[in-house]
Structure 1
Amino acid sequence: MSVDLLIRNASHVYVDRGVEVTGGGSWLAVTGDRVSGYGSSLDPEPEALRVIDAGGRLVTPGLINTHHHIYQNLTRSFGPAVNGDLFTWLTTLYPVWARLDEEAVHTSAYIGLAELLLGGCTTSTDHLYVHPRPNLVDAEIAAAREIGFRFSPTRGSMSRSEEEGYLPPRSVVQDRDTILADCERVVAAHHDPAPGALIRVGLAPCSPFSVDDGLMRATAELAERLDVRLHTHLAEAESEIDFCREVYGRTPVEHFEDVGWATDRAWVAHFAYPSEAEAERLARAGVGVAHCPSSNMLLCGATAKVQQYRGWGGPVGLGCDGSSSADAASLWMEARAALLVARLLHGPASMTARDALDVGTRGSAACLGRDDEIGHLTVGALADVVVWDMDPVSLAGAHSDPVEAWLRCGPARAWVTTVGGRVLVEDGRLRLPGLSEQLRTHDRISREMQGLV
């Protein structure tokens, strides 16, 4: 019996932590949307309807992005905000983002997901918390469906404005009843709990400095009732600690716990400034962390203590964060940044390339509640696969360990990316027929939002 797709002649297939196929001639088989087998040059290859020759390249599971604000690629490297701290950056950009509409969100999502594919990402969440107009989450889900990308967006929200001593302007916040009603609508319209789903939806109040505690509690209760996941920013900046002590009389983590979020249904972005005791409590509660090293280095000045948190049993995944903070959406870059910053802060034994890969695959999948079927290439897993391309000059002399070479030597880029066995990147190029038109639309909208036309 033949399989649908055979990726053959790989240098190495990283199947899962502790499971690797080594040596030239390694292969991976796909039947339908699932991995159906793998082997080395010593194992007979199955017949296949389609064969991709990996040309001696490394094969891994697709990387998984656990934190993003895709609409922000419309304001990349926005001049007035690039060198400010987090609060300055946000207050500068909120009025610009207030111009978002369905067309802007759709095209930014299309371009953002395309960029993620080139960086080896096959599943991404998104945290869309600015809602100056209705149906914005629907627009980005439509873009993901057009591409065939595995997408877990969150219906974000902000309920407190600058008029009440919080950060956002009134134009981008909504009242609690409007938010909760639309959260329920979006889940009913788009969330697919079935195995192999392309679209899963979560709920995501933005942050302690833009959401009231009543909305946080109500959202946690709604997520429990609808059986969806919860996401928010937490302990991202030192100024957040001061804000929470002044407004709530407690630290951000204490506030998070008090409003009922310290469960394994939740994962949080950044988590750069908890105390050690707070971090251990959340890890043991099963709260996931989206580690965003590039964004943290650009905006926050600190980063999550990844290996320590993992040691306590907490899931940690990778996130590239919004395009106008980190300004790039390559999870390969984030994996490399995670490796480097860990070793800078905690020494060379603190993280290996395999640790970073595990964070970006299994760890990220656990944050999204999907490590049963994504983040690995075991038989029966979804066939979300990346064949990595690196210039032979960059790899010259790297013979002993393809996984270490992949992250140390770089830069690496996807040569083939499949989502559920469907090839979306081939020969290093996106196979998206609508890309050129979307780029033209994106350019027009971006210039209009930034006041350049």
Structure 2
Amino acid sequence: MPPAVDLLVKDAELLVVDGEREIPGGWVAVRDGRVAAVGGPGAEPEARSEVSAAGRIVTPGLINTHHHIYQNLTRSYAPAVNGSLFDWLTTLYPLWAALDEEAVYVSAYVGMTELLMGGCTTSSDHLYVHPRPRLVDAEIRAARDIGFRFHATRGSMTRSVEDGGLPPRSVTQTEEEVLADSERLIKAHHDPEPGALVRVALAPCSPFSVTKELMTATAELAERYDVRLHTHLAEDRDEDTYCLETYGCRPVEYFEDTGWLSDRSWVAHCIYPNDAELRRLAGAGVGVAHCPSSNMLIGGGTARVREMRELGLPVGIGCDGSASTDHASLWMETRGALLLGRYRGGPGAMTARDALDIATRGSAQCLGRADELGHLRPGACADLVVWDLHEVARAGALSDPVEAWLRCGPGRAWTTVVGGRVLVDRGEPVLPGLRDALREHGRIARSMQRLG
């Protein structure tokens, strides 16, 4: 008799192992934070702990490739919600200047909890506002306290309004400060080992918020330490105009000129590259974080996801900012990708399985972890979700559990497992620090929004 596994998730209506394999009545066995085995009914191993997935679908954990978690402190901020992207940014930058370590910690704790409840087991975060030091350290501390799998990206802005950029001086830094802190964070927190819970990437905010010199130096630093690169790219028509006026070229050409056109990079949005630029990005292996809800709410266009995937670009899902999307549900973003894909390309352009594949294996590719995340093959990190759709919402959806999972709804995580640890159980987070974090979050958000 083989030794008992640590955790057995069993009796699933359907287990989605990856984009090629599904097992009706399937089970997943977990040992030492990894998937030990998967199988069908009648062959389950002994386990020290069990989770019943009876009547529910089980998938790999969804992966968030672009976010600004701190922005949940200014969600749905009335003076900003109906402006253009640049209007929205210039309204909110002064509020974000109040960020400190406590604000970042509680926003990260609450934001990561919300991600877990929406079926997300790994997230990146793009923290690019640095009015005070060691803010990225604070969100990494929150991730470790929760047990969440986290890719912190050290964002930066150096071009203030005085330098021809958008942000006020209060939230920017010098190039020397950015590079020194980027190197410190890599040395202090980046874990390159398989199964890592915390990794660090480098992420100047955008072409209009940093200098060309910083973009180039950041790419060189990432090469030296073998970490990934992330930024916003081709997000807005105004960005085209800005790059042409400031650098004499379009955003993708500028991206290439600064040494970023490589498979080390993944970019957020990527809405406005032309056909030739899209082929150049694909040829270099650059990944794209597709952010459906944010794109629709800001009203600035959406990525050509079908064409990107046909060209071979890794495409993942991103929530984007908590003050532009105003939620952190990867289920909602995956459904948004399904709807937008069909809206853009017709009924055959996107299926629920396509959207799930983007949110799992595609996202894992963007983060450079396709070998161990985004699927449930033996040896993968044991990051998985047992999904809950209320029986009323699913009534009549009998023929295809995957299509029903994304077309019906709303969907939520019934059980979320990260590295073999149950962090959401029966729809509720299993996090002792949540109540205190919510209380402090409310206090800080009221102060930041000047609501007394």
Q: TM-score, normalised by structure 1?
A: 0.99
1:345 Cα deviation (Å)?
Answer: 1.0
1:290-369 aligned at under 5 Å gives the runs 290-369=289-368
* CA distance in 2 between partners of 1:76 and 1:369 (Å): 30
* CA distance in 1 between partners of 2:44 and 2:233 (Å): 48
The answer for the alignment partner of 1:379 in structure 2 is 378
Contact 1:335 1:357 in 2 (8 A): yes
Please report the RMSD computed on the Cα atoms of aligned residues, expressed in angstroms.
0.7
The answer for the alignment partner of 2:115 in structure 1 is 116
- 1:17 aligned partner, one-letter code: G
Moved more, 395-404 or 434-443: 395-404
Moved more, 384-393 or 26-35: 26-35
- 1:70 aligned partner, one-letter code: I
Specify whether residues 150 and 268 from structure 1 end up closer, same or farther in structure 2 by C-alpha distance, changes over 3 A only: same
* CA distance in 2 between partners of 1:287 and 1:300 (Å): 25
Query: Where does structure 2 lack aligned partners over 5 or more consecutive residues?
Result: none
* CA distance in 2 between partners of 1:38 and 1:131 (Å): 44
The answer for the alignment partner of 1:27 in structure 2 is 27
* CA distance in 1 between partners of 2:163 and 2:303 (Å): 30
* CA distance in 2 between partners of 1:167 and 1:26 (Å): 52
- 1:431 aligned partner, one-letter code: V
Query: Where does structure 1 lack aligned partners over 5 or more consecutive residues?
Result: none
1:122 Cα deviation (Å)?
Answer: 0.2
* CA distance in 2 between partners of 1:70 and 1:409 (Å): 27
1:168-207 aligned at under 5 Å gives the runs 168-207=167-206
Q: TM-score, normalised by structure 2?
A: 0.99
- 2:268 aligned partner, one-letter code: A
The answer for the alignment partner of 2:106 in structure 1 is 107
The answer for the alignment partner of 1:48 in structure 2 is 47
- 1:234 aligned partner, one-letter code: L
Contact 1:237 1:300 in 2 (8 A): no
Contact 1:236 1:300 in 2 (8 A): no
The answer for the alignment partner of 2:14 in structure 1 is 12
Which deviations, in whole Å up to 9, do the C-alpha atoms of 1:379-408 show, x marking residues without a partner? 010000100000001111111111111000
1:55 Cα deviation (Å)?
Answer: 2.1
- 2:51 aligned partner, one-letter code: I
- 2:204 aligned partner, one-letter code: P
Q: Is the aligned partner of 1:74 residue 2:73?
A: yes
* CA distance in 1 between partners of 2:311 and 2:345 (Å): 17
1:283 Cα deviation (Å)?
Answer: 1.2
Which deviations, in whole Å up to 9, do the C-alpha atoms of 1:347-396 show, x marking residues without a partner? 01001101000000000000000111010000010000100000001111
Which deviations, in whole Å up to 9, do the C-alpha atoms of 1:262-301 show, x marking residues without a partner? 0000000000111111011101110000000100111142
Per the alignment, in what secondary structure is the counterpart of residue 13 of structure 1? strand
The answer for the alignment partner of 2:397 in structure 1 is 398
Per the alignment, in what secondary structure is the counterpart of residue 159 of structure 1? coil
Number of residues of Structure 1 aligned to a counterpart in Structure 2: 450
The answer for the alignment partner of 1:39 in structure 2 is 39
* CA distance in 2 between partners of 1:51 and 1:142 (Å): 29
The answer for the alignment partner of 2:222 in structure 1 is 223
* CA distance in 2 between partners of 1:4 and 1:256 (Å): 46
Per the alignment, in what secondary structure is the counterpart of residue 202 of structure 2? strand
Contact 1:2 1:47 in 2 (8 A): yes
* CA distance in 2 between partners of 1:231 and 1:288 (Å): 9
Contact 1:14 1:60 in 2 (8 A): yes
1:2 Cα deviation (Å)?
Answer: 1.2
1:410 Cα deviation (Å)?
Answer: 1.2
1:35 Cα deviation (Å)?
Answer: 0.6
Q: Is the aligned partner of 1:427 residue 2:429?
A: no
- 1:369 aligned partner, one-letter code: G
The answer for the alignment partner of 2:254 in structure 1 is 255
The answer for the alignment partner of 2:236 in structure 1 is 237
- 2:436 aligned partner, one-letter code: E
* CA distance in 2 between partners of 1:44 and 1:230 (Å): 43
The answer for the alignment partner of 1:284 in structure 2 is 283
Which deviations, in whole Å up to 9, do the C-alpha atoms of 1:15-68 show, x marking residues without a partner? 01111102xx32111111011111112x41111100111121000000000000
* CA distance in 2 between partners of 1:403 and 1:375 (Å): 16
* CA distance in 1 between partners of 2:26 and 2:60 (Å): 15
The answer for the alignment partner of 2:139 in structure 1 is 140
Which deviations, in whole Å up to 9, do the C-alpha atoms of 1:94-116 show, x marking residues without a partner? 00000000000000000000000
Per the alignment, in what secondary structure is the counterpart of residue 204 of structure 1? strand
* CA distance in 2 between partners of 1:91 and 1:47 (Å): 57
Q: Is the aligned partner of 1:87 residue 2:83?
A: no
- 1:21 aligned partner, one-letter code: I
Per the alignment, in what secondary structure is the counterpart of residue 51 of structure 1? strand
Which deviations, in whole Å up to 9, do the C-alpha atoms of 1:177-207 show, x marking residues without a partner? 1100000000100000011010000000000
Which deviations, in whole Å up to 9, do the C-alpha atoms of 1:297-316 show, x marking residues without a partner? 11142111112111111100
The answer for the alignment partner of 2:448 in structure 1 is 449
Contact 1:383 1:419 in 2 (8 A): yes
1:164 Cα deviation (Å)?
Answer: 1.6
* CA distance in 1 between partners of 2:405 and 2:424 (Å): 19
* Identity %, equivalent residues: 67
The answer for the alignment partner of 1:162 in structure 2 is 161
The answer for the alignment partner of 1:153 in structure 2 is 152
